[in-house]
Structure 1
Amino acid sequence: MPHLVIEYAATLQQQLDIQTLVRNAHQGAINSGLFNPNAVKTRAYACDNYVLGTGHVSNFIHIRISIMPGRTDEQKQQLTQAVWHSIAALVDNVDCVSLEVAELHQPSYLKQER
């Protein structure tokens, strides 16, 4: 834990190195100091079809950070700030960047490793 899932406007692939975005966000979660580095998982998905507001926003990045319950609000803010600082220089030309921390429902969460 955590899982970082990055959704982004597919058009950003032409102006942004997505793999660097993934690596930097991943490192930001590690830099937060809240997790075992081996437990951090990060992936990104391009969105081809989307509508943003009234049309003046043409691209976006949204990072959802899913964690197990038990962190304080301050720790969650520490996490979003660490990830933000790790990606900020890369996303100067992105119209809208958002990050959120979401708690997983622990009783229904299942993980099986081999």
Structure 2
Amino acid sequence: MPHFVIHCSENILNLQQPEKIILEVHQAAVNTKLFDEPDIKVRLNPFKEHYLVGGKRGDFIHVFGSIMEGRSTNQKADLSKNIVSKLKDMFPSVKFIAINIDDFEKATYCNKTMV
């Protein structure tokens, strides 16, 4: 916890190395001081086909963040801005860069160490 899943057009991987993208999103999350670094998980899912952006095929990046409930709206907004700012710096020519943050409900979250 937390999880950051990056969806992007496949061409994004021609603009930056996947490892660099993952590490930069990881570091942006670390910089917020909201999470213990070893707990942060980042994954990258490029889309080669079957997507539209504004009715066309074009480059995009969208990060889906899932974090444990309990952070304030301001903390989540800062997290979003930190990650989008980093991606904007890395990809100045990409018009569509966004993130959304969802909360895990502590009462219903379970992983293998909890059973």
Whether these two folds match at TM > 0.5 is: yes
Quick one: distance in 1 between partners of 2:94 and 2:82?
19
Q: Is the 8 A contact 2:67 2:102 kept in 1?
A: yes
What is the one-letter code of the residue matched to 2:54?
G
Quote the residue 1:79 is aligned against.
79
Residue 107 (structure 1) shift: 2.9
Quick one: distance in 2 between partners of 1:50 and 1:84?
21
| CA distances 1:3-46 after superposition (whole Å, capped 9, x unpaired) | 01000001222222222111000000000011111111111011
4+ residue runs over 6 A deviation: none
Quick one: distance in 2 between partners of 1:34 and 1:8?
25
Map 1:65-76 onto structure 2 (within 5 A). 65-76=65-76
Q: Is the 8 A contact 1:3 1:65 kept in 2?
A: yes
SS in 2 for 1:107: coil
Quote the residue 1:59 is aligned against.
59
Aligned length, in residue pairs: 112
Quick one: distance in 2 between partners of 1:9 and 1:33?
29
Quick one: distance in 2 between partners of 1:110 and 1:90?
35
Q: Which runs of 5+ in 1 are unaligned?
A: none
Quick one: distance in 2 between partners of 1:72 and 1:83?
17
Quote the residue 1:93 is aligned against.
93
| CA distances 1:63-88 after superposition (whole Å, capped 9, x unpaired) | 11100111110010111122223332
Residue 105 (structure 1) shift: 3.1
Residue 104 (structure 1) shift: 1.6
Give the TM-score taking structure 1 as reference length: 0.88
Quick one: distance in 1 between partners of 2:109 and 2:63?
20
Residue 106 (structure 1) shift: 2.8
Quick one: distance in 2 between partners of 1:85 and 1:51?
23
